[in-house]
Structure 1
């Protein structure tokens, strides 16, 4: 009978959902942002506003007079023209920053990877002991670690100078490791790598634990050696962890400050060892040229962003390749 037939619901006109459904969908989409609002507000106050303030200062001739009066003296791109036109940037500061960061990132990854592989092979007791020891190096403040390395390479009473003097290789009173540009950055590299490799080692060790045992066992049965197993199984499997530690190492090592500034001559007495971070600080707080210092900081940030973007895009292309 016609009365027993089910009544079909009419679709809304124009194929649109009812207004109540649209409101519910909008509420669901807005709910995560409402939950994130407190954290985003804190980030905006603590990070984005100072960053915006630095960018604004980089377009001004800002010194002690402007601090006292609160006036703004916008000069456009003059600060950037002066910096980019200064040969000191291209011959000294930029090479120091790029090559030092590159060496630190590379050595930190190599040492951290080797330590992670060592932890994987150790027994439980020795693994706990070694993990505790290397984490002590990571927990040491950068200031404390820098002074330890300064003491080790002290020209007169340092461990290295005394040992080489005992072997008759150097004359301590005529050898200063901190005046030469190369030896200065060699010590700084040891300092940064010593402080940074524990994070890489523990992170990669955690990633190594996710590799199924069947993969290396099958590779051994197929006759693959340790080097082949590492490159064909270990590296592809934990590539995301490698990407994370590499990006973080790039960010940390490009903005190294304390390890350079606290070493003898690093605070500006020896201009041959300045990097972008220390140069920005000296221009701002030693010479009271806050506009110039802010422009240097912006250039450092842009350089860091460019390197990070290139690295991430290279990883993405490599991942998309068959």
Structure 2
């Protein structure tokens, strides 16, 4: 049985890349250490190639950090009742304790010697643990800010919750990055408490990969905008803009010999170097450096 059951290749690859970089190793360095080609390791980190148990153990041992050892433990857990958390979930170990407690309570409730009234109480405990675990896994919001690019959604959120700092000119500026091409593509959860801080819950790895695949399809079809049946763009402008900014593939406009503005698209130029769709998806994901952008600070 695979140790990675229940974990997508994209999620595992992202986590491996993150741990590699946190240990101070470049991709080429790790590839040499395990005697693999860098191309193979790149495909693994992009979720394009699956890993056997032995290969995964080799990678984690080569990374050699405490977090790598912890990942091996996390991957070896068999979740029977609660949903498996994301590999980098901050409450990973707490949720595992809840899983173990749920298993113990259910086992106790199946004993023929347990009175019916006591079994009912055990079932209530199991339901309560599941409810609280769901709250930890999904942080729901009550207010949604919706609008087009640049309308001021992030600015309004920061102003409403006093999430502002003094800028270089002495003016109050939002904590969330805005302006000059900055885009907030996440759901923002605001909770009042004694202290203050920001926790960013990133878009899932599978969702990001799906966005990149749609973006690559759009570029390879050489069409400025692809829409589904109801006319909604498959790649929203905000998503495309974020992918281009993160991957360094923004459209460049320069003056031609005749003085007119000429546009060049680095993303379309990549097609000549990576004509196969899968290879182009991996290259865009690699350029985005997602494992360096998934950081959690309080």
TM-score range with shorter-chain normalisation? under 0.3
More helix by share: 1
* Greater share of residues in strand: 2
- TM-score normalised to the size of structure 2? 0.25
Q: Which has the larger radius of gyration?
A: 1
TM-score, length-normalised on structure 1? Answer: 0.23
Which structure is higher in RCO with an 8 Å CA cutoff and minimum separation 6?
A: 1
